[in-house]
Copies of this chain bind each other. A is one copy, B any other.
Amino acid sequence: YDSEGGDLTSAGRLEGKLREKTLTLDTLNPQVKAVEYAVRGPIVIKAGEIERYLEEGGTKPFSEVIKANIGDAHAMGQQPITFLRQVVALCTFPELMDSPSFPEDAKWRARRILQGCGGHSLGSYSASPGVECIRKDIAAYIEQRDEGVPSDWENIYLTTGASDGIMTILRLLVSGKDSSRTGVMIPIPQYPLYSAAISEMDAVQVNYYLDEDNCWALDINELYRAYQAAKLHCQPRVICIINPGNPTGQVQSKKCIEEVLHFAYEENLFVMSDEVYQDNVYTPDCQFHSFKKVLYEMGPEYFNSVELASFHSTSKGYTGECGFRGGYMEVINMDPEVKAQMVKLLSVRLCPPLAGQAAMDVIVNPPQPDEHSYKQFRQEKSSVLGALADKAKLTEQILNAVPGIKCNPVQGAMYAFPRIFIPPKAVEEAKALGMQPDMFYCLRLLEETGICVVPGSGFGQKDGTYHFRMTILPSIEKLKVLLGKVRDFHIRFLKEYSALE
């Protein structure tokens, strides 16, 4: 108020009556204050400042900021899948149905989607769980993916990106009134949407640690340890799994998934499986297994009882369509009365964006071998996934050649999460600045090279260990340059602070 009201000469001001703001840091919802989201946190704000500084003619030891902080494929130059965009453009502007430059297989998909929309327009609200024919396409896709495991389209809910679905399910489980008692089990390291949602809803975060020495595998004994420890001060009701892992890039084995599901069955936990990277598996000895399929194979006493929500998105995979905010969740074994309550909750926000729903439909219903667009689609898809596999390998190799950096294989997803050695003197200096040592490291990296990565502390890590998350999304040429700069920086950094010992 002071700065804005400095030149006031009004009656109120003359009377010395300073109107206070209603909403200040003191009166702000404390749960909002508690939220942290490193992927767009302080380091990214700093990167934006440097970008503007460069644009305005400022100079730095580099000419551009490379944002390797977020899984934003198109921003890194990945091209959209032509067929997907054709279908969405046709839905948006149906006069294009008459254009000979759009293929028939795209047109019939667009027509079908529009027939499912009110007034045959992408401008209508859909039903809150999404357009019916898209829900049916998703169910058919899941059945095919899971080699015949049944999927009921009425269990499918379109969402505004996967984040929205994850928040919705957590909202059902976490009560404001006794929320300090609801435990939500999450992996550490985790994608910070989870910790942010837990803070916002005032639930209890229950950490289970992934095993860095074992390729970030999930160890069932650690799950039991975390659960038992948590039970002393809260009621753990839900376990979240991210597979393939974000930020850790591991792909879970079938055996491990079985163990998690058995644990959830025994301890009566709701299972949330974040499977948005299901198409991003790179190492030949790894395979994506959906939690649902594994649950099915465990037999009906499991498949008919464990409450499971799994999440998917248009933002990842080979499409990388983040801006469309498309996604879905499949929810099985949910109590029908709870389901009705969930639909009511979804209906308050009306519906997910229709363009995102259409994009999701193309992903689950891509061109088939006998269709005109198949060849180009297959070529574009394998080109994206092939390049990602190459970049995953390259990143691991280059990072592991740097003394003081150790990187697990990037089996899947879009990130490397290397462990970095930070010399004690640098740790000291960071702490003197009131900063996490890896934040200090990443800020230095940004200032000196223009490379923006996210400190491991934003995802969680074992005490005394330090990491950063970087995406493998830049083009292979750019990625090589980036990794070279990281290497040179790291060596310089080690030298500088080891000399101080």
**A interface list, Cβ under 8 A from B:** 1, 4-5, 7-8, 10-13, 19-25, 27-33, 35-37, 39-41, 48, 70, 72-78, 80, 85-86, 88-89, 92-93, 96, 99, 101, 117-119, 121-128, 160-161, 163-164, 167, 171-177, 179, 192-193, 196-197, 200-202, 237-238, 265, 268-270, 299-301, 304-305, 307, 319-325, 333-335, 337-338, 341-342, 344-345, 347-356
Contacts and interface: CB of A to CB of B under 8 A. Distances in A.
B335 A351 contact: no
Contacts of A22: 173, 237-238, 268-270, 307
Given A75-B118, A335-B24, A92 B355 contact: yes
A143 to B, nearest CB: 19
Nearest to A86: B93
A323 B72 contact: no
A351 B351 CA distance: 16
A301 B78 contact: no
A338 B25 contact: yes
Nearest to A120: B74
A74 B121 contact: yes
5 contacts: A1-B305, A22-B238, A22-B307, A32-B172, A325-B354
Nearest to A235: B27
B269 A74 contact: no
Contacts of A197: 348
Given A72-B118, A353-B353, 18 more contacts: A10-B299, A13-B301, A21-B307, A22-B269, A25-B341, A29-B171, A29-B172, A32-B171, A35-B344, A37-B348, A70-B125, A75-B125, A123-B324, A160-B325, A197-B348, A322-B350, A324-B355, A325-B352
B25 A322 contact: no
Contact of A28 (B118, B121, B172): B172
Given A333-B4, A347-B40, A322 B125 contact: yes
A39 B348 CA distance: 9
B351 A37 contact: no
A11 B324 CA distance: 46
Contact of A348 (B122, B193, B237): B193
Given A92-B88, A124-B75, A341 B32 contact: yes
Contacts of A8: 300-301, 304
Nearest to A37: B348
B176 A304 contact: no
B160 A31 contact: no
Given A92-B355, A323-B123, A335-B24, A128 B10 contact: no
Given A10-B299, A123-B73, A177 B31 contact: yes
A117 B238 contact: no
A347 B72 contact: no
Shortest 9 CB-CB contacts between residues of A and residues of B: A75-B118, A10-B301, A323-B354, A89-B93, A74-B121, A40-B347, A74-B123, A353-B353, A75-B124
A73 B72 CA distance: 34
A176 to B, nearest CB: 5
Contact of A300 (B10, B23, B351): B10
Nearest to A18: B305
Contacts of A96: 89, 96
A125 B175 CA distance: 31
Given A8-B300, A123-B74, A353 B24 contact: no
Given A80-B123, A89-B93, A355-B92, A202 B173 contact: no
Contacts of A324: 122-123, 353-355
A430 to B, nearest CB: 22
Nearest to A101: B99
Most chain B CB inside 10 Å of its own CB: which residue of A28, A92, A301, A353: A92
Contacts of A128: 40
A21 B341 contact: no
A121 B80 contact: yes
B356 A353 contact: yes
Given A341-B25, A356-B353, A30 B175 contact: yes
A119 B75 contact: yes
Nearest to A265: B19
Contacts of A33: 341
